[in-house]
Structure 1
């Protein structure tokens, strides 16, 4: 039996969702193959939490834990931390230094995809279309006229490195822009302001399944809110239609672009890319490398549509990590 640490929590606003994802992984882990251990990673403590909710501190020197008098080491790590330090490369680099296999992509890919501006810049030469964007760093002068002249109205103001739609605003008038910028700066010191893409929003899961890179059935997102925000994602204010209502041709087209991005970036593990299709052209918004794994999340929905159970999905991720 392999000991698998399921890391969850994190240092960002997404920690609550990560705890739910991590507990889903723990619940559906194949208990004939693995001993699962829930590891909470917070700024103030790294602890193993047992079934009675007792906490045992993690030794960061070798990522081990001593519980009830015996030392436990881990054969592999299932990474379920959304946001920093699980999705931006920090944990990936730490485990690589320790030589412990983990289920997400490598540290460089994590850092790159977590930075929306850099990701889109790297993919552009491969013909992957994106919104028109304007960048701001904290302390930059804010020229609202210049911004609107470039991206138009309405537009989206987003933290460059944050997930779960935290800090995002849809801006309809120039007067709303400074407030939206302040909101985004609460999550990150870099901002991306993007033109509004009026089209069909889809989410495309790409995974390595049993050694083959596959595109999962695509989800179409119809938000009741102005956009696919936190409420729409987690509080039922959206319709998520899997498979998406796209023509076979468009399904192939957007799937091929998402798969190409996965291959170009030398990704591993899970990825979920968001696109808006405008006039028959998919435009990429971002790529998530630690997508939500709650039972309501998109990747589990897409896997189910492909006939892959959560247990199979998680087993596959662990087996591929251990094989590396």
Structure 2
């Protein structure tokens, strides 16, 4: 280990449904941190919760024959959590589990991204919408089904209308998300969403264009917004009938480990979005406002709908995917911030946080 370099630990895997997805982001981080400045070590968490120290092996993190990676103890050396955390200067906590932020706060290890509250506020879709609505944002109508609630009541369904979306309240990558067009489809969609979270969100479908914007905190504490991008899912069946589901995100098109020769080659994503300058400015303004409203820090990606009535917030992603073909890095690439610079800024901000 070169003692002049910052030792960065990348935590990935874990017990959540996004176990394999987090491996893709880990590859995007480990493969793009400047080796002249950073000494990188991976901490892979198995689905049983065992921490395994790994080398940077990008091939092992790749999607292979349509299968996401699955971490086992054979990937490296089993380590204790205290041993792992004490061996690094800063952590990328990308195991898709907000409990890790609490662990890092208790141990005092600097880490990239939002703290406990910001992580939970963004990860729990019910709380995200409640907080943003209270701050004056426009959000879609929704109903929360808690553990003892199995269905939407008739008066609630009348308010939401059809079609609607059913999703785990605390999940990502569109895992367990269903577009429901008839009431007959609702029970199966709720049951599947509940496989991933005991709390389920049932949300009115919004007719509009899907936009996003990345937020990045800089060393002096300022927060800036990236170029605005758009999700284009008009795949021949009509935009209204589809959504940006798990298969489209991870199994459709270019590799998540390889930087595209041209952003236009990335399927379903258009960066920058073909929207008027005033709309772009409004999306970026609202993105920064939402970032602060949810007490976020470090980085975040805010997703929006552009409707006939204006801009509506959809979701906040406090720990967005950081593969080379993910929305967040693509938005910043168009803004003139390449992947290594993006990651270096995150590290610098995390290390400086305790001094401000």
TM, length-normalised to structure 1: 0.91
Higher strand share: 1
Match of 1:297 in 2: 326
Q: Distance in 1 between matches of 2:282 and 2:148?
A: 40
User: Aligned ranges for residues 10-159 of structure 1 at < 5 Å?
Assistant: 10-42=14-46, 43-51=48-56, 55-64=76-85, 73-81=87-95, 83=96, 85=97, 88=98, 90-143=99-152, 145-159=154-168
Residue segments in structure 1 that go unaligned for 5+ positions in a row: 65-71
Q: Distance in 1 between matches of 2:108 and 2:190?
A: 41
Q: Cα offset for 1:142? A: 2.1
The answer to whether the 8 A contact 1:144-1:177 is kept is no
| 280-289 vs 114-123, which moves further | 280-289
Q: Distance in 1 between matches of 2:205 and 2:330?
A: 27
1:229 pairs, out of 240, 245, 252, with: 245
Indicate yes or no: 2:279 matched with 1:250.
yes
SS class of match (1:130): coil
Match of 1:195 in 2: 204
Q: Distance in 2 between matches of 1:130 and 1:57?
A: 44
TM, length-normalised to structure 2: 0.83
Q: Cα offset for 1:79? A: 2.3
Q: How many aligned positions are there?
A: 312
Q: Cα offset for 1:11? A: 1.4
Q: Distance in 2 between matches of 1:29 and 1:132?
A: 41
Q: Distance in 2 between matches of 1:216 and 1:152?
A: 34
Q: Distance in 1 between matches of 2:118 and 2:278?
A: 29
The answer to whether the 8 A contact 1:137-1:191 is kept is yes
Match of 1:220 in 2: 230
Q: Distance in 2 between matches of 1:48 and 1:312?
A: 25
| 259-268 vs 192-201, which moves further | 259-268
Q: Distance in 2 between matches of 1:299 and 1:232?
A: 16
Relative to structure 1, the CA distance from residue 2 to residue 121 in structure 2 (aligned partners, 3 Å threshold; closer, same or farther) is same
Runs (4 or more) in structure 1 with deviation over 4 Å come to 51-54
Q: Cα offset for 1:54? A: 5.6
Q: Distance in 1 between matches of 2:144 and 2:316?
A: 18
Residue segments in structure 2 that go unaligned for 5+ positions in a row: 58-73, 236-240, 254-266
Q: Distance in 1 between matches of 2:136 and 2:152?
A: 30
Q: Distance in 2 between matches of 1:142 and 1:262?
A: 32
Match of 1:260 in 2: 289
Q: Cα offset for 1:73? A: 1.1
Q: Distance in 1 between matches of 2:152 and 2:324?
A: 43
SS class of match (2:172): coil
Q: Cα offset for 1:106? A: 0.4
Q: Cα offset for 1:51? A: 5.0
The answer to whether the 8 A contact 1:144-1:174 is kept is no
